[in-house]
Amino acid sequence: MTATGRSVVAAQARAIADAWSPPGAPESWWLTAATLTAIAEEDPLLDLASAIPPDRLPPLLLAAAVRFLASGSDLARHYPQPGGPQPPRDPAFGAELATFARERHAELAALCAGHRYQMNEVGRSADVLPVLALIGAADDRPLALVDLGTGAGLGLRLDRYHYTYRAADGSQRSTGDPAAAVRIECAVRSGAPPVPARIPTVVDRVGVDVEPLDLSDPHVLAWLAACVPPEAGAVTRFAAASALARAEPARSARGDLLDVLPDVIASLPAEALVCLVDTYVHVFLPPPTWNGSTA
């Protein structure tokens, strides 16, 4: 890779580190920020990241590979476990990560070559739920969810989770099953989201993805867990949501959503109101084409 390409990857890693370390960032964000900072600054890590094709999100892919290999090594003590606390900040983490990358270079390179970075953030359901509730309140029909770009399908069971929305003044509103294993917390910075008293009824659900992910495959599950930012809340959410998804698999359709959507919609119950959900798939779609008609 050229020096320019290397500095681009370093800048990408630094930008992600900055996003995880704004003023007032929760203490539990330190490890994600420190990992990306080390990738930007430490040669053994930057060498590995710079060798990854640019379209494969080099800093994030390498961070996932490190997390994957860290299990069973000394490095594992820094990473949170599901349901557990965030291990304390360690200023020597970056140097330790660089040593790990030097020693395990070949394994890390092989992992990066054989995998894609794949983000599954079930917390995004906190954005979707109020919108679905508004739609449900305006229409008597039960809902049928089509989750576009569903990945591992964690957004498909958003009616099974418990949600708490906390405002800056300390007030909060909760909804959903109080006994749910998946508990999503959302900080409200301004305004008041329309948090429903009752979660709308979902009668059918289908995920669409070019590459749906099979959580029953232990290697797939372990890789997806490694892609989760090493932040205690995210790790716990992923573990609970993936356990529910494995226990209650939902339908998925493989293919480009632009091709498979008509058949998917035709397969849904006629009495249901179809809701198409997009949590970060639109960024992968081609720009809209304009056929020149003004009609």
Ligand X SMILES: C[S@@+](CC[C@H](N)C(=O)[O-])C[C@H]1O[C@@H](n2cnc3c(N)ncnc32)[C@H](O)[C@@H]1O
Binding footprint of ligand X on the chain (CB under 6 A)? 119-121, 124, 149-151, 155, 208-211, 256-257, 279-281, 284-285
- The Cβ of residue 114 has, within 10 Å, a number of other Cβ atoms equal to 9
DSSP string covering 145-175: EEEET-TTTGGGGGGGSEEEEEETTS-EEEE
Q: Cα 290 to chain center, whole Å?
A: 32
The smaller minimum CB distance to ligand X, of residues 94 and 255, is found at 255
Query: Shortest distance, CB of residue 277 to ligand X, whole angstroms?
Result: 8
The smaller minimum CB distance to ligand X, of residues 58 and 151, is found at 151
Largest CA distance in the chain: 65
Query: Shortest distance, CB of residue 268 to ligand X, whole angstroms?
Result: 17
The smaller minimum CB distance to ligand X, of residues 1 and 274, is found at 274
The smaller minimum CB distance to ligand X, of residues 45 and 239, is found at 239
The kind and range of the H/E element at 98 are helix 93-103
The smaller minimum CB distance to ligand X, of residues 210 and 247, is found at 210
Please state, in angstroms and rounded to a whole number, the distance separating the CA atoms of residues 44 and 181: 39
Distances (CA, A) of 52 to 18, 106, 127, 188: 22, 13, 32, 37
Residue with CB nearest ligand X? Answer: 149
The smaller minimum CB distance to ligand X, of residues 44 and 123, is found at 123
> What pairing do the DSSP bridges indicate for beta strands 183-188 and 162-167?
parallel
Please state, in angstroms and rounded to a whole number, the distance separating the CA atoms of residues 1 and 141: 56
Please state, in angstroms and rounded to a whole number, the distance separating the CA atoms of residues 255 and 248: 22
Mapping DSSP to helix (H, G, I), strand (E, B) and coil, where does residue 208 land? strand
